[in-house]
Amino acid sequence: MTTHGSTRFLSFAYALGYHYTNSTQVSIGPIFSFSSIAAGETRIGILSGLRYHYDIKDIGIAPYINANLGILSSGFSDYNLAYRISSGVDFPISQKASLSVGYYLERGLLSRGYLLRL
């Protein structure tokens, strides 16, 4: 589950990924955005991504960078190219789970915000 924050928008996204190597992951998934629920301004789309992280074994954290590219739509004829660049740090919770804290810059949907992912 991924939660995004911004001063103007609410957005939800999830992705299915494949670890190409231990430090590289590719992913694809849908994204949903509500820019103004009262005005009925919603956007849906799909983003594909490439993520690289470096595991610092001495202190147990993994800084990462992530790049996503996709298409967003606010109607049947209104399509926009979207991209997101993010960076942050993964903190391990268990052997199979981690908490990610980071920052992202996104165009086509949001302008900037924070990222919390479990």
Per-residue model confidence as pLDDT tens for the chain (118 residues) = 444 444 445 677 778 989 888 899 999 999 887 765 555 667 788 999 999 999 998 888 999 999 999 988 876 777 888 888 999 999 988 888 888 899 888 776 444 455 555 5
Q: Which of 55, 54, 47 is nearest to 82 (CA)?
A: 47
Judge contact between 4 and 110, C-beta under 8 A.
yes
Looking at domain 2-117, its CATH class is mainly beta
pTM: 0.69
pLDDT at position 117, please? 59
Nearest to 52 by CA among 78, 86, 84, 11: 86
Cα→Cα distances 95→20, 41, 73, 106, Å: 19, 40, 38, 31
Q: Report the first-to-last Cα separation within the chain, whole angstroms.
A: 6
